[in-house]
Amino acid sequence: MVLADNLDTIAAIATPIGEGGISVIRISGPSAFATADACFRGRVKLAEAASHTAHFGYIADATGQRLDEVVATVFKSPHSYTGEDVVEVSCHGGAYVTQAILSTFLSLGARLAEPGEFTKRAFLNGKMDLSQAEAVADLIHARSGLSLRSSLSQLQGRLSEQINAVREKLIGTIGLLELELDFAEDGYEFVEKQKAMSDLDEIIGRINKLLDTYKSGKIHRDGVKVVLAGAPNVGKSSLLNQLLNENRAIVTDIPGTTRDVIEENLTINGILFRVIDTAGLRKTADVVEQEGVARTRAKVEESDLVLLVLDASRPAEAPDIEPLSQVAKVIKEGMKACVVAVNKVDLNPTINGKLLQSMSFLKGLPIVRVSALTGHGIDELKQTMVSSTLGGGKQAPESSVLVTNLRHFQAIKRAKEALLLAKESLGRGESSEFVAVDLRSALDSLGEITGVVTTEEILNSIFSKFCIGK
């Protein structure tokens, strides 16, 4: 384990900048208490206070001027978020006062924390592993019940437990092969190779299970990207408004993230649906509209779910059908989830048989009859959207472990590739040393997830995405 180069004492505002009830300024490191005591005026010295106690007082600046009444909470190493001595000062939540208190800490020798540095120190000091540290960022960014649940499970170390269990098993297998090396001449070889082979099968099986969770794991974490597609005037915008009615998601702009498309967010059964586009689809000579069609196709390609909207009140016309069939092709090729919403059933209560007949490419897709005007069928549409994306509408049980993070997914995939190579070599009767090289490479890939194997590059790329104060 790399030890934190924790000679510096770091400070930062831990709450969002702005006006609010309270704000918290966090200070962590060997001089945390000395720095805080140099400006905190209360009944006790924080350095002498017991860990996990809160103390009322005020903060004074370098000239002795009182800045604010505060409550200082003391956490003594190693029983703190970072594992170091930590003081959290809760002051009134104003942008100026918060900054003034931070400046006072900095003038007393603390250094401004880098993005994610508190959490990085927590990792380096062994308070949490790397996948848990990443879960902190995911939890903070969670925008739906589902993403909250999966990031909390990762924060509590469920993914790490599974990864560690697979690594343990792998270490055992490497041990077997090494044993075989030592006793190669005594006839151990055959038995141990058989055992190593069945161990490898079991490990690959577990790895495959983890890899299989990524699709729904990604949906848990990032939500479902939805494209509403259909000819102009079929009611796409009306339908979106109807869906948003009771389901608008809590969205805050996260500083540092840019969104290149306008996105409407809604949650259904705790799942975040991110509607990324509602472009109209119609074959046309108009160059601008043609671009719209091409754009919709591109959007369909990057979506998780396509909501194809048809109009029950009028027969489909040729200019509508052709682009729809092209979109249907993209859906099938990309194995996208798709729900067909036949809208305006208030105008025509029976599905227009001709409408669907003229579009045989819709065969096999779930079809829901709705009216964006009256709200008819909207609940069924929502449930169909859920079941189409999460397969049968079943959500992963609380206890199940999901891979939600692309970095983890790629590391597990690399581990699998190395394991398959090892299996092949073992099958070919290659020497154990040779097989062990691939097994160790798999072990390292898995270790990157929890951070037992890590590089400065990996750490920087993870923690630089955090905000200052985390």
Binding site for ligand GDP (CB under 6 A): 230, 232-238, 280, 343-344, 346-347, 371-373
Q: Where are the beta strands (DSSP E) in 349-421?
A: 367-369
CB of 105 to ligand GDP, least distance (A): 54
The CA distance from 324 to 232, in Å, is 12
3-state helix, strand, coil in the chain (%, to 5): 50, 20, 35
CB of 103 to ligand GDP, least distance (A): 52
Instruction: Take residue 463 and report the two structure tokens written for it.
Output: 């923690």
- HSE-CB at 407 with a 13 A cutoff on CA atoms is 14
Q: Return d(Cα 170, Cα 360) in angstroms, integer.
A: 51
Min separation Cβ 276 and ligand GDP, Å: 15
In DSSP terms, 111 is beta-bridged to 10
By beta-carbon proximity to ligand GDP, the closer residue of 236 and 423 is 236
C-beta closer to ligand GDP: residue 98 or 278? 278
Helices 318-333 and 287-302, axial angle in degrees (round to 10): 30
| Nearest CB to ligand GDP, comparing residues 32 and 342 | 342
How big is the CA angle at 239 (ends 234 and 242), to the nearest 5 degrees?
155
Nearer to ligand GDP, 313 or 410 (CB): 313
Between 166 and 279, name the residue whose CB sits nearer to ligand GDP.
279
- The closest alpha carbon to 323, from 191, 457, 229, 244, belongs to 229
Q: How far is the CB of 337 from ligand GDP (least distance, A)?
A: 21
Neighbouring-strand partners of residue 267: 272
Nearer to ligand GDP, 370 or 449 (CB): 370
Read off the DSSP letter of residue 454: -
Q: How far is the CB of 156 from ligand GDP (least distance, A)?
A: 44
Question: What is the nearest approach in angstroms of ligand GDP to the Cβ of residue 238?
Answer: 3
Whose tokens are 């599974």? That residue is 162
CB 67 within 8 A of CB 108: no
Nearer to ligand GDP, 106 or 373 (CB): 373
Comparing CB distances to ligand GDP, the nearer of 247 and 400 is: 247
Distance of CA 207 to the CA centre of its chain: 20
Q: Name the closest residue to ligand GDP (Cβ).
A: 235
Least distance between ligand GDP and beta carbon 320 (Å)? 11
Min. distance of Cβ 246 from ligand GDP in angstroms? Answer: 17
Q: Which residues contact 268 (CB under 8 A, 6 or more apart)?
A: 247, 382, 383, 385, 386
